[in-house]
């Protein structure tokens, strides 16, 4: 506790997410996005993902013990009690993690609960991943105020096949009806055509967000950074639609200024917007 705070304090944004060691995705992408967009970033880690260069860059996945996740959240929520009202949920990885996170979420009121519904991850057992997907849908989706599924996740959450923008719009409506959340369903590069198209729907407004595709290959961290940018904008007071528009511009600039490496995929750079 400090006695004299002369400046206006930044909005606080918490991410509950996995570490992706190479810095492209996960909590690293979230924190860099928060910093770039002027919020005070905090992270509680749910798991550690280490790509395996010897095995086709598969994901090696190690969960963080539920008690250690609970400890991190206890520290964070006690430290910023009364100030923290915006959280982003990224990769959970196991039903036990989802239980622990849901319990911590229930211990306080939130203004913004942004769910990036990271479903199966390469390297996890399929049976285990299905349990995780189910827990995510039944436990976290109902508390989300904003959800950012990619093409695959939108198909899973809506139960429909998505082949074009009309399908993506229908999926966004179905996911909104199931959750009550504002939805930004990401077509990204997955739908045919020259544009990367995402659909926003919040029950009253549908907006198609479209930018020319930058290449045809997915860039690591695009989904995490988009969701983190929405989180930061909401924390600063933007409406859900304004947050979606700003986040799309942020990600487009980050992809334009992406980082190449010895991995077979590039990583989005969160500094792109000011480069
Ligand atoms: O982009 C999805 C994602 C989220 N979180 C973590 C990841 C990944 C993909 O690699 O490793 C920790």
Q: What is the pLDDT of residues 163-208, one digit of tens each?
A: 999 999 999 999 999 999 999 999 988 899 999 999 999 999 999 9
Assess whether the C-beta atom of 224 lies below 6 angstroms from ligand 1.
yes
CATH number at residue 87: 3.40.1190.20
Instruction: Using pLDDT thresholds of 50, 70 and 90, give the confidence band for residue 125.
Output: low
**CA-closest candidate to residue 266, choices 211, 190, 214:** 214
Is position 2 within any domain? no
Give me ligand 1 centre to Cα 27, in Å. 8
5 pLDDT higher than 70: no
CA of 26 to the centre of ligand 1 (A): 5
- Does residue 266 lie within any of the structural domains? yes
Residue 109 in any domain: the answer is: yes
Residue 101 lies in a domain: yes
The three-point CA angle 56-251-179 to 5° equals 90
Atom from ligand 1 closest to the CA of residue 49 = 11
The pTM score is 0.96
Task: Please check whether residue 245 lies inside any domain of the structure.
Answer: yes
What is the pLDDT, as a whole number, of residue 123? 52
- 49-81 pLDDT, tens digit per residue, is 999 999 999 999 999 999 999 999 999 999 999
β partners of residue 272: none
Q: How far apart are CA 244 and CA 14, in angstroms?
A: 18
**Vertex 121 angle, CA 209 and 187, to 5°:** 15
According to the model, what pLDDT value does residue 2 have? 58
Range of the domain at 14: 10-272
As beta bridge partners, residue 89 has 16, 115
122 pLDDT band, cuts 50/70/90, is: low
Residue 67 is assigned to a structural domain of this protein: yes
Q: What is the mean pLDDT of residues 141-150?
A: 97
Number of compact structural domains in the chain = 1
The answer to the question of residue 5 being in a domain is no
Give the Å distance between the CA of 257 and the centre of ligand 1: 20
- Does residue 4 fall inside a structural domain? no
């Amino acid at each position: 506790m400090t006695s004299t705070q002369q400046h206006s304090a930044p909005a606080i944004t918490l991410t509950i997410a996995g570490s992706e060691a190479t810095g492209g995705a996960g909590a690293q992408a979230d924190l860099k996005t928060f910093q770039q967009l002027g919020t005070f970033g905090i992270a509680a880690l749910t798991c550690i993902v280490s790509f395996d260069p010897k095995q086709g860059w598969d994901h090696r996945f190690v969960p963080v013990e539920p008690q250690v996740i609970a400890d991190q959240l206890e520290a964070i929520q006690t430290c910023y009690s009364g100030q923290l009202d915006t959280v982003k949920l990224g990769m959970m990885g196991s039903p036990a993690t989802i239980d622990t996170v849901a319990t911590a979420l229930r211990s306080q009121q939130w203004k913004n609960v942004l769910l990036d519904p990271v479903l199966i991850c390469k390297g996890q057992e399929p049976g285990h991943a299905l349990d995780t997907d189910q827990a995510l849908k039944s436990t976290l989706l109902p508390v989300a105020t904003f959800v950012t599924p990619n093409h695959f996740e939108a198909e899973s959450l809506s139960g429909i096949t998505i082949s074009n923008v009309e399908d993506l719009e229908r999926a966004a409506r179905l996911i909104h009806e199931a959750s009550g959340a504002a939805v930004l369903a990401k077509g990204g590069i997955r739908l045919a055509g020259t544009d990367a198209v995402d659909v926003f729907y919040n029950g009253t407004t549908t907006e198609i967000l479209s930018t020319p595709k930058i290449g045809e290959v997915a860039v690591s961290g695009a989904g995490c950074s988009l969701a983190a940018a929405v989180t930061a904008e909401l924390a600063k007071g933007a409406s859900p639609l304004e947050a979606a528009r700003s986040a799309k511009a942020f990600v487009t600039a980050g992809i334009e200024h992406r980082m190449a490496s010895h991995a077979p995929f590039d990583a989005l750079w969160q500094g792109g917007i000011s480069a």
